Amino acid sequence: MTSTSIALGIFGVVASLPAWVYFLSGAWRLYRLIAAGQPTTDRASNIGKRVWTVLRKVVLHEGMARKPFVALAHWFVMFGFIIGSVFWFEAYVQTFSPAGGFCDWEIYHFVEEILGLGTVLGILFLIGVRLRAGSDNRFDRFYGSNARAAHFVEAVVLIEGLGMLLVKASQIATFRDGSVWADFVSRLIPLPASPLLVSVFALIKLLSGMVWLFVVGRQLRWGVAWHRFLAFFTLFFTRTPGKKSLGALPPLLSGDKHLTLENADPDVDKLGIGTLADAPWKMLLDVSACTDCGRCQEQCPAWHTEKPLSPKLLLTGIRDAIPHQEVDVLKLVGTAVDPDALWSCTNCGACVEQCPVDIEHIDHIANLRRFQVLAESDFPSELTGMFKNLEVKGNPWGRNSAERMSWVEEANRDGIPVPVVSDGTDFEYLLWVGCAGAFDDNGRKTSRAIAELLNVAGVKFAVIEGESCTGDPARRAGNEFLFQMLAATNVEVLDDAFATYPAGQRKIITSCAHCFNTLRKEYPDFDGHYDVIHHTQLLNRLVREGLLTPIPRGPENRKPVTYHDPCFLGRHNKVYDPPRELITAAGPLVEMPRSRDTSFCCGAGGARMFMEEKLGTRINENRATEALAASEEIITGCPFCNTMLDGGTKALGTPAKVTDVAVMLRDAVLTDGNLPEFREPQFLEAPKRIEITPQKPAPDPAESPAEPPASVAETPEPKSVTPPVTASPAAKPPVAAPPVAAPPVTKAPVAAPPVAQPPVAAPPAAQPPTAKPPAAQPPAAQPPVAAPPVAKPPVAQPPVAAPPVATPPVAKPPVAKPPVAVPPAAKPPAAKPPMAAPPVVKPPAPQPPTAQPPGAIPPGGARPSVD
């Protein structure tokens, strides 16, 4: 230790003090900014899994595995920073004592050698990648990134790596012999023996780090620098432990309150994200941790079709708007976020899938859209019609709800049995048809093909009346409350259909990737718990088990086909192999360059199916061009994708065949153009059912044995109470029909409104009648008619704008309940209500006991118990 080295050491310590002050104060300001954000969903559950996820993704670099050489280079640079910090602090010792250090173990020197060499080579490779990728062209990955910040960070990393090697090399030249294996590079660097040189190199290594601390502490918007600290937290605090935030959208929150139709107060609650003050802390963490790497931008279908949306630039725009002093009230959309960029998103999930630090782009876009729709009513005009159609008709196109089951009638006429739950059929799989499967021409062909294949395989399945749109377009467009209304209606219908089915037996198959994702990932948040599978998964199982036997195409017709991965089937739910296995069972498959988790969107998601594509080029034409380069026959697994790709090929003027996997498989099982003989329907797995046992109360002997009154069905009443409808004196209510039986022909028909029938309004004077009942009938024998079940407004009929006491809207009553008697003025329908479970009867006014039909619960009986 010389006076010169002491002076250098003191200078290093003094110079580092302001750098540490700036850095720590900046880190504190950043922490306060993020902590001031609004609450979000649970981010601390399953701590062990979250810690394991962080360790796995950091050590294995899973998020960068798609670019393996970049991942390897970044691995050395990252660990050169983390573990190299120990060697950086060692520079404080080496400036004072050139021969000193923390320890003199060979393994210690070997680790320092590896990290120093890896850091230098790794950062040089990454600099080359950045320069080669470019940042001038719109389609360059680093277009719009902060190049100045990136170059500064890269320069400091290079100096730090060189510093580790040069300090070692100068120590070897001056004080010790280098180890052959521990110093295999630094001992070969020719340097003169000089203690002063060791101190100078140590000081340079120390000061370069201090410059980095000083600059970064003042530049809180430099995500390329701050992600070194924040990435661990974005990985830890993902919405779902161990998984990327794909599939379901987060709930609508105001503070820590989950907003629903019942509890939302627009005067108090925050409906989405409108300003920085509304932003949840996870969003503020995400925008601060964005590395500007451009992987999301590189995969975004909107950006690649010249639209203003870049997921990277959307986040950095919000980040740059943050004052980093206090949470501002700056309105985000229209200032930091371009409205056209916000509404260009297809929710395809490519950005989330590609992000190495698990930023939740779609969640933030969804919350921004919610504010625009629910609070501002500022959204593309095309969505107005779509919202109204969903609310009134139950489908986004506004088609008459009576048409939903027309494909079933056609199939039955053609000898293709399609059982309906209301028929009392015991089934194993419920086929959820969806809006496209019921109304779209190509979708109907897919539904028909699925029904034919299930009959060929002998699968016990059924469809259900009363379907409404699952609400996916509404939710993805930001209309959360409309989605909740549709979800509640569908959950009620499904729960009634599965009334006697225990958990594990509530199996739903669907051909629509959007319905599949919504039923599987989002309905559980609304008490809709079902086992949902895609039709390709079930069909693939039937082929593997020999229940379906596709015939490979002959040599004359063995042109390969290509497969388009639907975003909500592939990226959002990781279903990649079943469709491909079905295709290859019938013939060769050619993959497109962008496939599986890098598949390019068709352009229909995020409610874009119902918005005009006015900016840039059309996404579906971009994808169709790529598909046609692979094959003239395009197979997909979603009716939305089918429609978009079919339109894209037609717009390009290229003849092509676009079909669903089910249609392709149906054609593959034909023999001489005919379907094989249908198997007897059987269960693939042993069925289990819940036995519902009615409980009979003792009759009341005080009642006169007058004419037995009719039992009236009881349904759960909504929160809004409607005055009861009382029958006029001359009206005699019909007797409830026994389960799974048509109403008796000798009684007034049961008014179970079919889907296609407009609502039957009750007479205006629906209050209790003022006229006295006939003298010959005692008051006790005149049973009041219970109010018809007031269902939550289903979307399959016009809004309930009827007088205060209206009969139920068009939607059919819950399938598990018997019908309700109506006043004589009601027009008897042709359809009969389903009886999927024994009825629950509401006890009438005190009266004589009534004989019940088999299986019914006598008046006054308790609700059935579930054994």
* Cα separation, 495 vs 490, whole angstroms: 8
The confidence band for 657, taking pLDDT boundaries of 50, 70 and 90, is very high
Longest dimension (CA), the chain: 125
pLDDT at residue 628 above 50?
Answer: yes
The dihedral through the CA atoms of 199, 204, 207, 209 has a sign that is negative
Per-residue pLDDT reduced to its tens digit, 749-762: 333 444 344 443 33
Please count the other Cβ atoms lying within 10 Å of the Cβ belonging to residue 691. 9
Query: What residue segments make up the domains of the chain, in order of their start?
Result: 3-36+67-219, 241-378, 384-543, 555-669
Say what the pTM is.
Answer: 0.78
134-137 — which CB contacts under 8 Å span 24+ positions?
none
Average pLDDT for 740-755:
38
pLDDT at residue 431 above 90?
Answer: yes
The confidence band for 844, taking pLDDT boundaries of 50, 70 and 90, is very low
pLDDT at residue 192 above 60?
Answer: yes
Per-residue pLDDT reduced to its tens digit, 432-484: 999 999 999 999 999 999 999 999 999 999 999 989 999 999 999 999 999 99
Structure tokens at 620: 């579906």
pLDDT at residue 225 above 80?
Answer: yes
Selection from 655, 589, 651, 660 nearest residue 620 by Cα: 651
Per-residue pLDDT reduced to its tens digit, 585-604: 988 999 999 999 999 999 99
Q: What percent of the chain has pLDDT over 90?
A: 58
* Cβ contact 478:374 at 8 Å: yes
Selection from 515, 427, 408 nearest residue 468 by Cα: 515
Selection from 475, 476, 506 nearest residue 491 by Cα: 506
* Cβ contact 4:198 at 8 Å: no
Considering the domain delimited by 555-669, tell me its CATH architecture.
3-Layer(aba) Sandwich (3.40)
CATH superfamily of 241-378: Alpha-helical ferredoxin (1.10.1060.10)
Average pLDDT for 316-327:
78
Q: Which residues have C-beta within 8 Å of that of residue 610, sequence separation ≥ 6?
A: 382, 383, 385, 386, 396, 473, 477
How many alpha carbons fall within 13 Å on the CB side of residue 803?
13
* Cα separation, 148 vs 85, whole angstroms: 24
Per-residue pLDDT reduced to its tens digit, 115-139: 999 999 999 999 999 988 877 888 8
> What pLDDT, on the 0 to 100 scale, is given for residue 422?
80
Per-residue pLDDT reduced to its tens digit, 238-286: 999 989 999 999 999 998 899 998 899 988 999 999 999 999 999 999 9
> What pLDDT, on the 0 to 100 scale, is given for residue 864?
38
> What pLDDT, on the 0 to 100 scale, is given for residue 286?
96
The confidence band for 323, taking pLDDT boundaries of 50, 70 and 90, is confident
Per-residue pLDDT reduced to its tens digit, 792-827: 433 334 333 333 333 333 333 343 333 333 333 333
